Chains A and B, each alone.
Chain A
Amino acid sequence: MTSGPLLTVASERSVAWPVCSMSALSNAAKPWATALNSSGIKPLTSWLVPACPTKMTCVEEARASNPDLRRSPYTSRLLLWSFAIGVLPPLALITGLATRSLLLLTFVHVITGGTWTGFDLFMGVVMSRVMRSLDIPARVEVAKRLTPTTFFILPSLAAVAVTSGIYLAQMESKFDLSSPWIIAAGVVVLILTAQGFGIFMPNGVRIFIELAKRQPDTGLIARLNMRNIRLAGVQALLQVLIILIMAHLAVY
């Protein structure tokens, strides 16, 4: 019976489902609810209808009664959005390589590199000032939304910009590891990568963990987020440097 597990989960978690009346139940669920009613067990509709006169009230009450739902109902949605955008650069890179299109490969490299640099410049130059002007609770609210939204997009942009750059240099026979310009680009990329793996990603994960705690340390969330935003400024400077190196490689 399809409705069995549904009702079991509902009762185990003590969550008021956003289903408020018998008419809203599926045809498969109705016999189950009727059987429960006739068996002397507290009727399903008596749990739901009086407590939740409207669908919206149901959702709000479910969030209020369940700490997990109350904490960050938007985190999963923002994370999913971030993933949906984050897979686009690797897919574009795959398309460029599969079609052997120098144009598409160059486009992917320039757009991902430019977006990555632009994003870091924006974070370092604009967002850091905006965040400093906010009080701690407001900073935490920004961090709660900014961290999941950027979680996949930024690593994806960074990885694809670097990977497509190496493939492009190989295709144009410029990937000469004895060239000081290529070595300089490699050193900058290594620093950027170390910062990404060593600071950005762990800070993002620590913010997720802190947000999911029953008593989040809001001060820690604000500090970690500010650290990431300031570091984005440093990354932007390094990226401006690497663009200078790229300009030299493109011209000479």
Chain B
Amino acid sequence: MNVNLAALLAVFAFAGVMLAIFGTLYAGAVRSYHRDELGFEGIRILRWALVGLLAIYALLAATAFLA
């Protein structure tokens, strides 16, 4: 199977940066939730947002195996 290694690494690097930034914001949101400033709906939406972004990155990673 041909793999475009550069493309795959780029997707992982971007996903890593995204996860780091998103994770920081998510941790802040969880702290707000524990302080009862934030409803659980907010945490739930953040989780779905993260899942959605990861799904898009997964699709982009799949292109590295086709190029």
Tell me the total A-B contact number using a CB cutoff of 8 A. 107
A209 at the interface (CB under 8 A from B): yes
Q: Is the CB of B37 within 8 A of A97?
A: no
A48 at the interface (CB under 8 A from B): no
Give min CB distance, B36 to chain A, whole Å. 7
Q: For this complex, into which size category does the number of interface residues on chain B fall?
A: 20 to 34
CA distance A131 to B7 in the complex (A): 39
A47 at the interface (CB under 8 A from B): no
Give min CB distance, A25 to chain B, whole Å. 26
Give min CB distance, A170 to chain B, whole Å. 7
Q: For this complex, into which size category does the number of interface residues on chain A fall?
A: 35 or more
Chain A residues, CB < 8 A from B48: 76, 79
Q: Choose among B7, B25, B39 the residue that contacts A214 (Cβ–Cβ < 8 A).
A: B39
CA distance A87 to B55 in the complex (A): 8
Q: Is the CB of A197 within 8 A of B52?
A: no
Task: Evaluate whether A159 and B60 lie within 8 angstroms (CB atoms) in the complex, with A79-B52, A167-B67, A201-B21 already known.
Answer: yes
Main secondary structure of the interface of B (DSSP, over half): helix
Q: Is the CB of A197 within 8 A of B63?
A: no
A67 at the interface (CB under 8 A from B): yes
CA distance A213 to B29 in the complex (A): 9
Q: Choose among A86, A201, A213 the residue that contacts B32 (Cβ–Cβ < 8 A).
A: A213
B residues sitting closer than 8 Å to A (CB atoms) are 7, 14, 17-18, 21-22, 25-26, 28-29, 32, 36-43, 45-46, 48-49, 52-53, 55-56, 59-60, 62-63, 66-67
Chain A residues, CB < 8 A from B40: 68
Nearest-neighbor residue (CB-CB) of B41 within chain A: A68
Task: Evaluate whether A205 and B62 lie within 8 angstroms (CB atoms) in the complex, with A163-B7, A170-B67, A193-B14 already known.
Answer: no
Chain B residues, CB < 8 A from A106: none
The 8 closest A-B pairs by CB, nearest first: A212-B42, A90-B59, A97-B66, A68-B41, A68-B39, A83-B52, A205-B25, A209-B29
Chain B residues, CB < 8 A from A87: 55-56, 59
CA distance A151 to B55 in the complex (A): 13
Nearest-neighbor residue (CB-CB) of A197 within chain B: B17
Give min CB distance, B61 to chain A, whole Å. 10
